[in-house]
Amino acid sequence: MSDAKTQIDETVKANDVVLFMKGTKDMPQCGFSSRVAGVLNYMGIDFADVNVLADDELRQGIKDYSDWPTIPQLYIKGEFVGGCDIITEMTLSGELDTMFETNGVSFDKEAADRIREANA
């Protein structure tokens, strides 16, 4: 499991935004992963996607790494942010915008506003 932990740690530290998900950002393999990847794609976030379905050790490793039982898992600047429900809530409240701004991650503010308008 230490190889998976090392791989996860290096990925999280090497990328400003990382989504550990089932499938890829272009072809999600579950609804929750699709929702989070869809939000990030729509907001124009440049993010690394890691397909946990490609490696069982990695799939368990990310759960151990974050001490969080579900996938997807979003990391911003090395910090675990949350899974689908948390990211959805943060998007709708504007907290995700603030987190991106605070960490110097560029995103389409107008797209974020459109998400909130559509879900008001």
Q: What is the pLDDT of residues 43-102, one digit of tens each?
A: 999 999 999 999 999 999 999 999 999 999 999 999 999 999 999 999 999 999 999 999
Domain boundary assignment for the chain: 2-118
- Which band of pLDDT confidence, cut at 50, 70 and 90, is reported for residue 14? very high
30 has binding-site annotation: yes
Burial of 55 (0-12, 13-18, 19+ CB in 10 A): middle
In this predicted structure, the answer to whether residue 120 has a pLDDT above a threshold of 90 is: no
- Quote the pTM value: 0.95
Tell me which residue of 12, 30, 2 sits closest to 79, measured CA to CA: 12
Q: What CATH class does 2-118 carry?
A: alpha beta
How sure is the predictor about 106, in pLDDT bands with cuts at 50, 70 and 90? very high
